[in-house]
Amino acid sequence: MSDKRTVGVIAGRGIFPATFVEAARKKGVRIVMAAFKGETESEVAEEVDAVEWFRVGQLAKPIKFFQQEEVAECVMIGQITPGRLFDLRPDLRVIKILASLSERNAETMFRAVADELGKEGIDVLPSTTYLEEYLPAPGPVFGPELDEAGLIDAAYGMRMAKEVSRLDIGQSVVVRDGTVLAVEAFEGTNKCIRRGGDLGRGKNVKLVKVSKPGQDLRFDVPVVGPDTILACREAGVSTVVIEARQTLVLGIREVRELCEKHRVSLHAQEEVDQPG
């Protein structure tokens, strides 16, 4: 053991874990990873100071591993869909959690897991820890800057997306010229992008992705990445509006290249006051 700060990573799919590991490394942090078979990318597991592999559905063993490695703080990052997390042979600890929940959605389940970790002396940190540089401040981020009409529409979309997420429906809407073309509910962002792009017929169409008012930053933080820009490009969505300082841009170098190459605007918008 060293006297560096140790942070545990409960690592799901995609580039989020690798982004965290790179950022935490720069701060000289010791990283202990609980990786999940079929979810975590194997490359990232080779980069950390200690790793063990688990099945999705196991909680007791990852906790024991973290305790052995003296992990007192961890992050839960990368997608593990709640279905995947609990469908596959849950261990007794997970069964107990499930039984205690009256509502089962991503938020209640992740919160319950976080509470369980907390009882074992392991705090769950915001999943944005060390990632401030991936949380854009207000203004143009990459690609063509919005003109005045674009900015008005971005503010409109932000207001609509905030209302929709306040209702716990979803994080994204697709808008054009003051009309909501598509609302993301259960189908996921990429299908919402495709539907909105089709309905908007490639003119001034904007994806707006936001956090929930009072978002718990330990999980479900809105993320955009290269696949978001590619999905928009394919669907004829020309602008991506994210919430300033609340949305993670992952794969940021690739996102920049894609925005510039395909002329997709990435714009960070501050939440405006709600009328009424």
Give the binding site for its own copies (CB under 8 A). 103, 105, 160, 163-164, 167-170, 173-174, 178-183, 185-187, 195-196, 199
Three-state secondary-structure class, residue 119: helix
> Which residue, 28 or 276, is less far from its own copies as judged by CB?
276
User: What tokens were used for 208?
Assistant: 């707006």
> Which residue, 67 or 81, is less far from its own copies as judged by CB?
81
CB of 84 to its own copies, least distance (A): 16
Burial label for 221, CB within 10 Å (0-12, 13-18, 19+), is: buried
The residues pairing with 269 across neighbouring beta strands, listed in sequence order, are 243
List, as one string, the DSSP characters of 150-165: HHHHHHHHHHHHHHHH
CB of 152 to its own copies, least distance (A): 12
CB of 213 to its own copies, least distance (A): 11
Q: How far apart are CA 91 and CA 56, in angstroms?
A: 10
CB of 63 to its own copies, least distance (A): 29
> Which residue, 93 or 212, is less far from its own copies as judged by CB?
212
CB of 247 to its own copies, least distance (A): 21
Supply the DSSP symbol for 133: G
CB of 210 to its own copies, least distance (A): 14
> Which residue, 42 or 179, is less far from its own copies as judged by CB?
179
Q: How far apart are the first and last CA of the chain?
A: 56
The residues pairing with 172 across neighbouring beta strands, listed in sequence order, are 209
CA distances from 20 to 77, 128, 131, 199, 209 (A): 8, 8, 7, 36, 21
CB of 164 to its own copies, least distance (A): 7
> Which residue, 138 or 188, is less far from its own copies as judged by CB?
188
> Which residue, 96 or 166, is less far from its own copies as judged by CB?
166
> Which residue, 170 or 251, is less far from its own copies as judged by CB?
170
User: What tokens were used for 172?
Assistant: 């994204």
User: What tokens were used for 67?
Assistant: 């305790």
Q: Are 135 and 245 in contact (CB under 8 A)?
A: yes
Supply the DSSP symbol for 90: -
Question: Residue 152, CB half-sphere, CA atoms under 13 Å: how many?
Answer: 6
- With CA atoms as reference, report the closest residue to 156 among 139, 176, 137, 170: 176
CB of 186 to its own copies, least distance (A): 4
> Which residue, 163 or 216, is less far from its own copies as judged by CB?
163
